[in-house]
Structure 1
């Protein structure tokens, strides 16, 4: 299981429209041949925003895209239903954890990783 692709900077102006929010996404790919239940798994950014997967099953060798904005969850797309951007355009780290809180994968982008605490 890995974070396979990140689009942290949605194209166009960051006007917080739902369309713009949904153009910010992270893809997770099941690299095994077997289906995996993501129930209780979490995806988190450096600022501590957390998205929790509910009753999500990812088939073997398939990818699911997690959008920031609102929408109807499907087998290929999930929506966090947020009204603001999460992933920092310039630098951030996405962390995928399983239901026991173990880190499965992290993906960092951007320059210096300065943590704003």
Structure 2
């Protein structure tokens, strides 16, 4: 009697995978952590410039942070930090078995997205000089 084997795909079709919102939030948590880690030398350099006691370091700090491209990078890092922070709180709550049901997990993922984007908008407007 011949055995029936299930045909397995030869490649992984990422566009066919339907992740829930919590899955996207988890992936963004990893991406934001990696981005923060990779951009750490830039952040430390900018911090060093801001803490310098000479006029040259103050002028260089103003020149660097006044550049629109640098402001956009800092805005992205601001979002990465806020998302990573909010998602970290969500993960800590899941670790103590709060919000592990399907609907609660979805609601907490929505809350992470909304809060991190809202805080990014508020702090981003301050970073870009709107107020």
Q: TM-score, normalised by structure 1?
A: 0.24
Structure with the higher strand share, 1 or 2: 1
Q: TM-score, normalised by structure 2?
A: 0.22
Mark the structure with the bigger radius of gyration.
Answer: 2
Structure with the higher helix share, 1 or 2: 2
